Amino acid sequence: MSDLQTRILSALAQPNYHPLKPKALARNLGITGPDYNLFKDALKNLIRLGRLEISKGNAVRPLGAHGTLTGIFRKAAAGFGFVRPNPDEGHKFTEVYIPEEAVRDATTGDVVLVRVRPSRKQHDRGPKGEIVQVLERATSQFVGTYFTRDGLDYVRVDGTVFSHSVVVGDPSAKGAKPNDKVVIEMVRFPTAEERGEAVVTELLGTQGKPGVDTLSVIRALGLPDAFPEDALEEARQVAARFEETVPEGREDFTNWLTITIDPIDARDFDDAICLMIDPKSKHWQLGVHIADVAHFAPPGSSLDREARKRGTSVYLPQHVIPMFPEIVSNGLASLQQGKIRYVKSAIMDLTPTGQKADVRFANAVIKTRRRFTYEEVSAVIAQEEGRTPDMTPPAIDDDVREMLLRMRDLAMILHKRRLKRGSLELMMPEIQLEYDDQGKVSGAHFRKHDISHTIVEEFMLAANEAVAEHLDRKDLYFLRRVHPAPEPTKLQKFAEFARILGYKMKTVTDRFSLQKILQQSAGKPEMHAVHYALLRSLKQATYSPVKDDHYALASENYCHFTSPIRRYPDLQVHRLLDHLIKRGRASSKLDELMALGDHCSKTERRAESAERELVKHRLLVYMNERLGTDLEAIITGVADYGFFAQAETLPVEGLVHISTLPDDYYYFDEMSHSLVGQRTKRAFRLGDKVLVTVVRVDLQRRQLDFRIQGTTGRLPPVKRRR
């Protein structure tokens, strides 16, 4: 849909809109002269799409509440789906339910035109509708497993995007054999009645062969892999010109005590930190130094164009797809120990209580004294606090040890300030896969989050806020990291959910009540369910130049500044800051940043999906070799068809289907989030601990099934509601 069509629909969606004739509407939108013909064409297209109509009096009117809308379609495994309307169109509801018979040939991610059906009874998730037309395909390329049956060739597409296998023509042209992973291009998309047709475009390899799972995810999500030659050549040229000296125009911070703290397997280091105390004022002097990758990739260069296209680096298990070629991301720009490197520095003067007193920014040069891993920093601090560290602390200089302890103290001060203003701490643990000598998954665990992570997080948050506040004071458009406030109805549902588990909220919109629930549930069996439920109640954070708060952080001005090697929005912020440092002024265009923010938000979601899919697949492969294993688990979700349980010793979640529950007929008690035995009154409730057995793994559909063995926690009966 064109920008002009969106502007017209937005005008018609305003509460105070009264039907206007086309010329009057054009004047209201500021459209005159030669652009009026474009306006008339846009009206005709919207009429054709069923978005508006011309009345008998020749006035432009939106269709009624049961007219049409456009939005993004999301398909469920069962065949039905939901459409999230375009927010620019001003619809009151957030989702339209699409029954399976009304999906047509739409797939997840497609932009669709929906006709809302007139009905007194609405679905729980919103009004009901039917897809009229697929306006834009999310993709026509899919990855799946090739097989033959009854003399015909098929591909079973990975995941649950299609209910049935797709017919393929002449797969032997690519050398495909049964059980091979292949890439297909859709010729005819499946519907509820027909399988659909496709052609095999690439052979990835035999299913289960090392590396094939990674390549499958890369192709399925359309991730850019190899760099074009012009970008690689440009990287070689900037590397040849770079000298490890302090050039004119940059401040020399090479004598400052500066360190990096990163994961043990980190390959690029884009942030370094230092901390001093002013002996006179007793103020904290915090320096956050960020890799100046913008120096090597000016706007419009080959490196810049490719980085913009990628939007972000993608971190897959045992494989990284960087935003910049490695000669830049792992070399020139990376803040390696003992190397002179260019940085953008935020130097913050903080009072003893952590309040910002002064901030300045500089183009500078640093030399990192020491590279730390999170584990090393935690071990040093634990030893100093008299606790037993998880590993032997590294040998370090006294001044470095003293600075680490200062960093701990300031990080805790900043953390408490952030909580005091209402910041929400959602604990969504990261999965860390473990590998044997052959590179095969040998186990998995949740990544630990401790004081070393808090130090880095708080200092990066402080720098991000300082930059956003600075750019905001200059009245500049820049890519903010925005997180709009959640809808009260979503919070009301979360409050009802929390109340069942024994957590009370004074008012559903009170962020301090939300904060209290998160804190009270931390470390308890139901923690995962509570934190995930609140996450689902919140809106998604995005990149946008339009000023808005970051709800979860309780921050009025926030942007991403600290990771320009791996995030393009940070690079845009660096360039604006560079102009302000050098010339005291800068400029930017709202429409260009709107488009860039939308693009970067999409590439970020794509990268997150890729990592999540590959981690899940590898965990399921690991569990498939351990059928019959007994696990203690926590019930994390309950529905009318069964309950989900999260293993305590492994980061895997599986479904216990209601049909497999023993010795009784169970019904779903929605109010208590329980499955209750009709005869025995035995209940399986959210947060309960159960003993389960791994009975089935479906690698194709990414599903894991458990069967109940018994319970290890208290299971009080739940009375059935009348």
| Sign of the C-alpha dihedral computed for residues 25, 28, 29 and 35 taken in this order | positive
pLDDT digits 0-9 by tens, 102-153: 998 898 888 888 888 765 555 555 688 999 888 888 889 999 999 999 889 9
Asked if pLDDT for residue 710 goes beyond 70, the answer is no
**pLDDT band, residue 716 (cuts 50/70/90):** very low
Q: Mean pLDDT: which of 91-100, 523-532, 569-578, 649-658 is highest?
A: 569-578
DSSP-derived letter for residue 328 is: I
* Residue 630 in tokens: 């007994």
Rounded Cα gap, residues 689 and 466, in angstroms: 45
3 state DSSP class of 352: coil
* Cβ–Cβ under 8 Å, residues 158 and 69: no
Give the phi and the psi of residue 78 in degrees, each rounded to 5: -80, -5
Residues 6+ apart with CB under 8 A from 92: none
pLDDT digits 0-9 by tens, 16-50: 677 888 888 888 888 888 888 888 888 888 887 66
Asked if pLDDT for residue 242 goes beyond 60, the answer is yes
Q: How many residues does the chain have?
A: 722
- Class of residue 428 by CB neighbours under 10 A (exposed 0-12, middle 13-18, buried 19+): exposed
DSSP-derived letter for residue 160 is: T
DSSP-derived letter for residue 271 is: E
Residue 6's Cβ-side half-sphere holds a number of Cα atoms within 13 Å equal to: 9
**pLDDT band, residue 438 (cuts 50/70/90):** confident
Average pLDDT over residues 700-714: 78
How open is the CA angle 495-499-505, to the nearest 5 degrees?
Answer: 55
DSSP-derived letter for residue 673 is: T
Report all structural domains of the chain as residue ranges with CATH numbers, in order of start: 3-62 (1.10.10.10), 68-136 (2.40.50.140), 141-220 (2.40.50.640), 229-384+400-412+425-482+550-610 (no CATH), 488-538 (no CATH), 626-711 (2.40.50.140)
How open is the CA angle 374-379-385, to the nearest 5 degrees?
Answer: 125
* Residue 304 in tokens: 């810049």
Closest alpha carbon to 393 in 456, 452, 459: 452
* Cβ–Cβ under 8 Å, residues 208 and 186: no
pLDDT of residue 101: 87
More confident residue, 308 or 446: 308
